[in-house]
Amino acid sequence: MEWKIDDRFPIWSQLTEQLEAYISSGGFKPGEKLPSVRDFASEAGVNPNTMQRALSELEGRGLIVTNRTAGRTVTEDAERIKSVRQGILRRRIEDFLDSIEELGIKDNELESLLRKAISERSGGTVV
Amino acid sequence: MEWKIDDRFPIWSQLTEQLEAYISSGGFKPGEKLPSVRDFASEAGVNPNTMQRALSELEGRGLIVTNRTAGRTVTEDAERIKSVRQGILRRRIEDFLDSIEELGIKDNELESLLRKAISERSGGTVV
Amino acid sequence: MEWKIDDRFPIWSQLTEQLEAYISSGGFKPGEKLPSVRDFASEAGVNPNTMQRALSELEGRGLIVTNRTAGRTVTEDAERIKSVRQGILRRRIEDFLDSIEELGIKDNELESLLRKAISERSGGTVV
Amino acid sequence: MEWKIDDRFPIWSQLTEQLEAYISSGGFKPGEKLPSVRDFASEAGVNPNTMQRALSELEGRGLIVTNRTAGRTVTEDAERIKSVRQGILRRRIEDFLDSIEELGIKDNELESLLRKAISERSGGTVV
DNA sequence: GTGGTCTAGACCACA
DNA sequence: GTGGTCTAGACCACG
C-alpha cells in the first residue's frame, strides 16, 4: 500500500488512520495475514516500534488480531469492518461540515462548490 | 466568538484556524479593531502567550495588522479577506475529498450521503 | 509509593496495575497532581518510556487526565475511581475463586483456610 | 480435562499450571499413565513442543515421571502429590491476600465480600 | 520543565 | 521468523 507521511503530526497516528482506511475499504480481506511488523515498517520507512504502535491501536479497535508468534491477521468479523468504515465516513463528513459551517456558507452554495470539485476530480481522472 | 479547543493538539494552531475562519467570514469587519491579546486570551481561556502566537501567525498571512501603539486591526484589504476565505474553502474541500477517496467511494454514493447529512443538519438548525 | 517489579512479566503492565490499585484506593486524591513521568520513572527505577506507557494505559481507563504541558492529574470523577476499585476487587475475587475451584475444594474447607490465613496476617501485623 | 488458554501469555506456563492443579487434585491417579504428548497437545489445541515443555516442567517438580520407552506416568508418591496441592493452595491464598491488601480493605469487608461471592457461585452451580 | 514522539538497537519467548 | 518489551538518548512543542 501507499504511505503518505506528514512530519508535523505523530507518525504512528497517521499510520493508524491510513491502515484503518485501507483495511476497512477492503485492501486486506477479512482473515488475511498482514505483513510482519518489520516488513510493514520498512515499507513505510519508519521504525518498527512506530509501526507496532499503530498496529496495536488497530487491535484495540478490533480491526486486526494478533496471534502471538504467528503474525497478525485482519479480523474475520466482516460486520466489524463494515461498521468501522461507516464510522470513518460519518466522522469525516461531520468534521468537514463542521469546518465549513464556520465559514458561514449557504447550503446551495456548498452543494454547487462540491459538485464542481467532484466533477473536476472525476474529469481529471477519467479523461 | 465561540472557541472549541481540543487539549490534545497545539492550541495556538487551533486558535489560528478559528480566527482565520471567523475573520474571513466577516465576524470582524475590515479595519475593525480587535480585542487586546489579554482579553482575547481570557475569553478563549488560554495563556496570553498562546493567543499572541496565533495572532502573529495571522499577521503573517496578511489578515490582521499591528499598529505600534494602537493594538491590532483587521486588514482594510477586502480583496485579501475574500481570497483567504476562498483559499480555506478550496483547501477544506480538497482535503475532504482526498480523505474520502481512500475509502473507495463512488461519486453518487458520496453525493447521496452528503445530501443526507446536510439536510439533517439544516433540519436540526432551522426547524 | 512502593514498587514491586517482577522481571518475568511486562513491567509497564505491572506499573499499570499497581498505580491503578494505589490511585483507586486513595493513594492520590481526585484532582491531585501526579509526579512527572521522569520523577515517577526514576522512583520506580524504570525507563521513562516504560512509565509513560503505564500512565497512558491509565488514561485510557479514565483514571487520570493529561494536561498537555502541565503534567497529569487524577481524575476529578470520584465515582469513576470508586467503580474502578470495585472492578479490581470483583475481578481479583473471581480470579481467585476460579483458581481455587480447579483444586476441587469444598466451600467449608476454603472458608476455614481463608479465615485462618487472614487471622494469621492480622496477627502478624497487629501484635 | 478442560483447557483455558489465553493467547496473551506464555502457553506452556498456563498448561503447566493447569496440569499441576489437575493432577494434584486427583484428576490422574498416582502411577496412572498419561496420554502421549501428541494426544495431549491435540486435545489442548496447542503445538506438541509447547505441551512437551509443560510436561518437562512438571517432571522437574516431581509430579510426573518419564519412563524411557513407556511414556509418562504420574508419580507413585502420594505424599508428594498432596504436598504439591497444599503448596498451590497456600500460594494462591497468599497471592490473593497480597493482591487485596493493596486496596486497603478491612478484614470484615473482605469476609463479607468473599462469603457473598462464594454463595453466588454455589447457587449458580448447585441449583 | 512538562508530556509526546521517534529511532536505534538489543534481548526475549514462542512455535 | 514472529511479536513484545525495554532502554538510552535525542528532539520537539508547549506554556
**Could you tell me the mean pLDDT of each successive run of 10 residues in chain A, 127 residues long?**
88 93 93 94 94 94 90 94 92 88 80 83 61
| A90-125 tens-digit pLDDT | 899 988 988 888 788 877 788 888 888 888 877 655
D21 CA to chain C: closest CA distance, Å? 6
Q: How far apart are CA C126 and CA C123, in angstroms?
A: 5
Q: Which of D47, D70, D54 is nearest to D20 (CA)?
A: D54
pLDDT one-digit tens code per residue, C33-86: 999 999 999 999 999 999 999 999 999 999 999 988 889 999 999 999 999 999
Which bases of strand F sit closer than 7 A to a protein CB? 1-10, 13-15
> Which residue's C-alpha is at the least distance from the C1' of F12?
A8
Q: What is the pLDDT of residues B41-77, one digit of tens each?
A: 888 888 888 898 899 889 988 899 988 777 889 999 9
Contact positions of strand E to protein Cβ (< 7 A): 1-10, 13-15
> CA B102, B104, B107: angle at the middle one, nearest 5?
115
Subunits that touch chain C (at least 3 Cβ pairs < 8 angstroms)? B, D
CB atoms within 10 A of CB C70: 9
Distance, CA of D116 to CA of D109 (rounded, Å) = 11
**Would you list the DSSP string of D4-53?**
---TTS-HHHHHHHHHHHHHHTTSS-TTPBPPPHHHHHHHHTS-HHHHHH
Chains B and D: 3 or more CB pairs within 8 Å of each other: no
Q: What is the residue whose three cell numbers read 515517577?
A: C40
Among residues B70, B68, B71, the alpha carbon closest in space to that of B40 is found at B71
pLDDT, mean over chain C: 88
Cell of A127: 479523461
Interface of C with B (CB under 8 A): 66-68
D122 CB neighbours in chain C (<8 A) are 107
Using a pLDDT cut of 70, give the percent of chain B over it. 96
Q: Which three cell numbers stand for residue D105?
A: 480493605
Q: Determine which helix (DSSP H) or strand (DSSP E) holds B71, and give its type and residue range.
A: strand B71-74
Query: Between B22, B107, B113, which is nearest A118 by CB?
Result: B107
- Grouping H, G, I as helix, E, B as strand and the rest as coil, residue C73 is strand
**Alpha carbon distance C72, C65 (integer Å):** 6
CA-atom Rg of chain B in angstroms:
18
Please tell me the distance from the alpha carbon of residue B14 to that of residue B3, in angstroms, as a whole number: 9
pLDDT at C2 over 80: yes
What is residue D127's predicted lDDT score, i.e. its pLDDT?
46
At A121 the pLDDT is: 79
Residue C18's pLDDT is 93
**B71-111 residue pLDDT tens:** 889 999 989 998 988 888 888 898 898 888 888 887 778 88
Give CA–CA dist C33/C25, Å, rounded: 16
Write C7-16 long-range contacts (CB < 8 A, 24+): C11/C46, C11/C50, C12/C50, C12/C51, C12/C53, C12/C54, C12/C57, C13/C54, C13/C57, C15/C44, C15/C46, C15/C50, C15/C51, C15/C54, C16/C54, C16/C57, C16/C58
B28-42 tens-digit pLDDT: 999 898 998 888 888
Query: Could you give the maximum distance between any two Cα atoms of chain B, in Å?
Result: 56
Q: Which among D112, D29, D47, A77 has a CA at the least distance from the CA of C118?
A: D112
Nearest chain D Cα distance for residue C32, angstroms: 19
Residue C127 has pLDDT above 50, yes or no: no
Residue B97 is nearest to which of A24, A107, A118, comparing CB atoms? A118
Q: Report DSSP letters for A56-87, one per residue.
A: HHHHHTTSEEEETTTEEEE-S-HHHHHHHHHH
Please tell me the distance from the alpha carbon of residue C19 to that of residue C41, in angstroms, as a whole number.
Answer: 12
Label residue B127 by pLDDT band (50, 70, 90).
very low
